[in-house]
């Protein structure tokens, strides 16, 4: 009876460690990534203050991906992510406040990461999520996400749209008056 119990405990320990075995035997150079979704957006909140409405914008990033080690899916491996940034052809630099981004492992072997910062701290450029296996120091895979801050937004965009619409109305009306 004791040996049967020992076998059951050993089997349950083996099954508990099994999902991580692919990752622990995998070196970064053997990892490939399939990026299922990469999403960037701006979330806007309006806050009422004594001086009127204040617009608060957050840059939101989200990505879903799958990892493979020598074509075998890596499922449930503990991962860590660091975000680096560059503008144009500059070198990547670590993005302050995003040195450790949480990664959620979903059923079926997919992983998801998300992060958000105030727009003022997120200039236009390329944000790269560098993915590491927990306890490792070499990048196993990465995901690039691009973010751009519009030059014209809010009330300025509404004014520009009204001016452009007026110009279009003027041009069309001059065509019809010239055709008469």
Give one DSSP letter per residue of 148-174, joined into a string.
---SS-THHHHHHHHHHHHHHHHHHHH
- Asked which of 40-44, 45-49, 56-60, 85-89 is least confident by mean pLDDT, the reply is 40-44
Q: What is the mean pLDDT of the chain?
A: 80
| High-pLDDT (> 90) share of the chain, % | 29
User: Is the model's pLDDT at 128 over the cut of 50?
Assistant: yes
User: Is the model's pLDDT at 63 over the cut of 90?
Assistant: yes
In this prediction, residue 150 carries a pLDDT of 64
In this prediction, residue 89 carries a pLDDT of 85
- Who wins on pLDDT, 180 or 108? 108
Q: What is the DSSP letter of 71?
A: T
Mean pLDDT of 72-79: 93
What separation in angstroms does the CA of 135 have from each of 32, 81, 93, 139, 167?
19, 12, 22, 11, 61
Decide: 165 and 111 in contact? Cβ < 8 Å.
no
What is the pTM assigned to this prediction?
A: 0.67
Q: Distance from first CA to last CA of the chain, Å, rounded? A: 103
In this prediction, residue 88 carries a pLDDT of 83
- Asked which of 23-27, 62-66, 90-94, 161-165 is least confident by mean pLDDT, the reply is 23-27
């Amino acid at each position: 009876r004791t040996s049967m119990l020992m076998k059951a405990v050993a089997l349950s320990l083996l099954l508990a460690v099994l999902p991580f075995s692919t990752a622990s035997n995998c070196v970064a150079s053997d990892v490939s990534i399939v990026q299922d979704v990469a999403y960037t957006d701006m979330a806007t909140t309006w806050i009422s203050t004594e001086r009127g409405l204040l617009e608060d914008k957050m840059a939101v990033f989200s990505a879903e991906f799958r990892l493979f080690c020598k074509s075998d899916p890596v499922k449930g491996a503990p991962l860590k992510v660091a975000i680096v940034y560059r503008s144009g052809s500059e070198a990547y630099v670590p993005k302050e406040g995003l040195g450790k981004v949480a990664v959620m492992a979903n059923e079926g072997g997919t992983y998801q990461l998300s992060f958000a910062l105030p727009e003022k701290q997120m200039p236009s450029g390329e944000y790269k999520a560098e993915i590491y296996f927990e306890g490792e120091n070499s990048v196993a895979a990465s995901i690039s996400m691009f973010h751009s801050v519009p030059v014209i937004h809010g009330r300025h965009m509404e004014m520009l749209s009204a001016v452009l619409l007026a110009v279009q109305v003027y041009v069309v009306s001059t065509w019809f008056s010239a055709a008469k």
